[in-house]
Structure formats: C-alpha cells, structure tokens
Amino acid sequence: MKRKEPDRAGQGKKTEAVGKEHMRENGRDTEEERWEYGDLLYLPHHISVRHPPMSVADRAAQFSPFAALTGYDAAVQETARLTQERVELDESQKEMINEKIQRLLEQLRKKEHPIWKITYFQPDQWKEGGCYRTVAGKVKKIGGIGTELVMEDGVRISVEEIFGMEEE
C-alpha cells in the first residue's frame, strides 16, 4: 500500500529525491532504512518563515527551576533564624545602670557629649525573643520623658532594654 506523500511547503518531491539520494550515497539504501517514515530521516532541517527562532536565553528559561511553593524558602529561613532570650537583670545591675544614666544626664546638662558604649536587647518583630546589640557613639538626648536614649546617628534605645553601659 502506497501512502500519500505530504506536501512540505516547497519541499515536495525534490526534497524526497534529495533524501533518497543522500541515503544511497552514504550506503544506507537498505531494506531496514526503508521503513514507513524512512524518507524523512535525511531531509534538511525546516526553519519557519512565520515564527522566528527562539533565543538561547528564552530556550534555557523553559528548563530553569521554579518555586512550586511560593514563599516556602522564606518561611523555612524565618523558622531557622535563631533569637536570644532576654536576660533579666537583678536589682544591683539595674541600680548600676540607673547610676550611669544619671551620670549621662549630668553630662548632657553640661553640654558634654562623651562617647558611650551601650549594650541593649532588641526584641524581634516576628518571633519570641530578640538579639543583643552594642552601639558606641555620642548620646544626643534622653527623650520620651526619660524612657529612651537617642544617639547622634538616630538610633533609639529604650531604657528598659539596656543591658550594660560604659563610658569610653
């Protein structure tokens, strides 16, 4: 049974003859090679006139990985992020910090701005706990009716969160 030859937009009988000729030249004109679609094996590669070839970057993007669970990586990182617990100061430590704050107040009244090194607890916004931070710099003022220290670089430190203070 002879099948109908497809019309390949300008290729037709000419390309079929080229394909068979190629098979004969290369010694491939055997019964095994002449199977139902064997004439298609050696046709030249078709390049579409209607659709331009895809760029290498677009072709690679087809096979790039994607995030099936959007936000999952961020959630895992947030869960893995460690926080510290706030250490409760005893009365003697609180008294020592209050004395240092009083000394700082006196310096600010005299328009002196020495450098202080302050360690404080910064509560975490999303999880229980937080982290201890240490800043060194000049204290600009004590604001919020004595509830926070304002550093010259704009950092605000709650007096309740101060863990330690040293004058440098």
- Is position 47 within any domain? yes
How far is Cα 142 from Cα 122, in angstroms, rounded to an integer?
18
- Is position 76 within any domain? no
pLDDT for position 34: 59
- Is position 68 within any domain? no
Sign of the torsion angle spanned by Cα atoms 16, 19, 21, 24: negative
Number of C-beta neighbours around residue 119 at 10 A: 16
The average pLDDT across 108-126 equals 90
- Is position 49 within any domain? yes
pLDDT for position 97: 92
Domain co-membership, 105 together with 55: no
C-beta of residue 42 within 8 angstroms of C-beta of residue 32: no
Domain co-membership, 45 together with 107: no
Which domain range does residue 110 map to?
A: 91-167
- Is position 73 within any domain? no
- Is position 107 within any domain? yes
Domain co-membership, 163 together with 96: yes
pLDDT for position 38: 73
Number of C-beta neighbours around residue 54 at 10 A: 11
Confidence of residue 126 (pLDDT cuts 50, 70, 90): confident
Q: Which tens digits make up the pLDDT trace of 149-165?
A: 889 998 999 999 999 99
Domain co-membership, 53 together with 109: no
C-beta of residue 148 within 8 angstroms of C-beta of residue 158: yes
Q: Which tens digits make up the pLDDT trace of 10-19?
A: 444 555 555 5
- Is position 40 within any domain? yes
Domain co-membership, 47 together with 100: no
How far is Cα 62 from Cα 30, in angstroms, rounded to an integer?
39
Number of domains in the chain: 2
Domain co-membership, 163 together with 99: yes
Residue 1 has pLDDT above 60, yes or no: no
